[in-house]
Every structure is written in structure tokens, then in C-alpha cells.
């Protein structure tokens, strides 16, 4: 029994050590930026991006990363404004969702609307009116939407998303950044679906310790 327990403990130690054995240029890229003052993980995404849809809706990578983070680590999802004809409006809509704390309520329908626009090649969709209807159908009042969409707080959150994307030179999505200093490099992770998801989570966890 003692030998069995020792073997289990040794296996867990080795597995953990391997998970944290990261190589710059493989699983991650170090940026020439200042480290954030507080531990944080930021995902940049776009509702128009099919890979972002898969990350969120099929593989649940953002949820798994968030669930694995140490206590006190902030997890943020920021929308980019360089992909899709209505991306500025969607970035503003996402800022309103963050301000109201309804991200989990509107995320899926916004993804579905944007992905349909991509499939239909409809450059006008989702329109601001369609976005408003999504919010109202998911628990946000007309007063909250109309009074908040161009509010000072939402303007600030829009600028926050845009400026950080510019600072980190985000050019593609989905993209994960750890402590403002490290970018997860998906090309260096395991290619199988299950292994890729696990590698993503472990890479983020490992980078938080660097």
C-alpha cells in the first residue's frame, strides 16, 4: 500500500513538473512589454471568428482556463474591432455586457448572430437593432440598453479593449495573454483535440508562475 501511494505521489509530481516545463517559442512567446501589476489572463476574441466560436462553444477553452486559475487571478475576455464589418458595434455591445455583468447571457446569441452573418456574407449583420433585440431577449431592459450603450462607462470599456489590443499588437484571434507579458502560442501545443485543450490550460497555469 505504501509503495502504491508513493508511486501515485511520484506520478502526480512528475505530471505537474512536465506541465510547467514550458519553452519560449514553442508553447508561448514572451513579449517586450511590462508585466501587469496583478495576475491576469486576457483572451482576445471576435464574434465573427469561427475559431473563437469553437474555442468558446465547442471546446470550452475559456471556461476551462478560468476554472483552473489560482485564486486572485483575473480572467478577461476582450472583443477586437478589426474583424468583420460590424465589429465596432459588437465591441461596444460586449463592453455593455461587461458593464451590466450579463456576458454569459448574451455571449452565445451574439456568437450565433455573427456566425450567421459570416455564413450569409451579410456585411450589415448583426445590425445595432439586432444586437439590441438580443440584449432585450436575454434579461436586459430597454432602459438599461438605451441608457448604457453610449454611456461614459461603456465608452471607457471600449477604449480599454481597443488600446490593450493595440499595445499587445493583437493581429489574430483567439489569442490569450498572461500577465501582459506572455502570449500562448497555439502552434506549439498538442494537435489532438483533448490534448490541445489540456495543453492550453496547463500553459496558462505555467505562465502565471513565471
More confident position, 21 or 113 = 113
Domain spans, the chain: 2-208
The answer to whether residue 41 scores a pLDDT higher than 70 is yes
- Identify whether the C-beta of residue 200 lies closer than 8 Å to the C-beta of residue 189: yes
Q: What is the mean pLDDT of residues 10-24?
A: 54
The answer to whether residue 5 scores a pLDDT higher than 50 is no
User: According to the model, what pLDDT value does residue 20 have?
Assistant: 53
Q: Which fold has domain 2-208?
A: Glutaredoxin (3.40.30)
User: According to the model, what pLDDT value does residue 9 have?
Assistant: 35
The answer to whether residue 2 scores a pLDDT higher than 60 is no
Distance in angstroms (rounded) separating the CA atoms of residues 135 and 95: 12
Strand pairing report for 40-45 and 74-79: parallel
Peptide bond into 128 cis (omega under 30): no
Contact partners, residue 107, CB within 8 Å, separation at least 6: 56, 97
Q: What is the pLDDT of residues 125-147, one digit of tens each?
A: 999 999 999 999 999 999 999 99
The answer to whether residue 4 scores a pLDDT higher than 70 is no
User: According to the model, what pLDDT value does residue 193 have?
Assistant: 86
Q: Which of 53, 183, 209, 170 has the alpha carbon at shortest distance from 200? A: 183
Q: What is the pLDDT of residues 71-128, one digit of tens each?
A: 999 999 999 999 999 999 999 999 999 999 999 999 999 999 999 999 999 999 999 9
Q: What is the mean pLDDT of residues 14-34?
A: 77
Q: What is the mean pLDDT of residues 174-192?
A: 96
The answer to whether residue 6 scores a pLDDT higher than 90 is no
Amino acid at each position: 500500500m505504501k509503495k502504491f501511494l508513493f508511486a501515485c505521489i511520484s506520478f502526480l509530481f512528475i505530471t505537474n513538473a512536465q506541465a510547467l516545463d514550458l519553452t519560449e517559442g514553442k508553447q508561448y512567446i514572451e513579449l517586450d512589454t511590462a508585466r501587469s501589476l496583478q495576475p491576469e489572463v486576457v483572451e482576445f476574441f471576435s464574434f465573427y471568428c469561427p475559431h473563437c466560436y469553437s474555442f468558446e462553444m465547442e471546446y470550452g477553452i475559456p471556461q476551462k482556463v478560468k476554472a483552473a486559475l489560482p485564486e486572485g487571478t483575473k480572467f478577461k475576455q476582450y472583443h477586437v474591432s478589426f474583424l468583420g464589418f460590424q465589429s465596432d458595434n459588437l465591441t461596444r455591445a460586449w463592453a455593455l455586457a461587461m458593464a451590466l455583468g450579463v456576458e454569459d447571457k448574451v455571449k452565445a446569441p451574439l456568437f450565433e448572430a455573427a456566425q450567421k452573418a459570416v455564413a450569409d456574407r451579410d456585411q450589415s449583420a448583426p445590425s445595432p437593432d439586432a444586437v439590441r433585440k438580443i440584449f432585450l431577449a436575454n434579461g436586459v431592459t430597454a432602459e438599461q440598453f438605451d441608457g448604457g450603450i453610449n454611456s461614459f462607462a461603456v465608452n471607457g470599456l471600449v477604449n480599454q479593449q481597443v488600446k490593450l489590443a493595440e499595445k499587445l499588437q493583437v493581429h489574430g484571434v483567439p489569442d490569450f495573454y498572461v500577465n501582459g507579458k506572455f502570449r500562448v502560442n497555439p502552434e506549439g501545443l498538442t494537435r489532438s483535440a483533448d490534448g490541445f485543450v489540456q495543453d492550453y490550460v496547463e500553459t496558462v497555469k505555467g505562465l502565471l508562475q513565471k
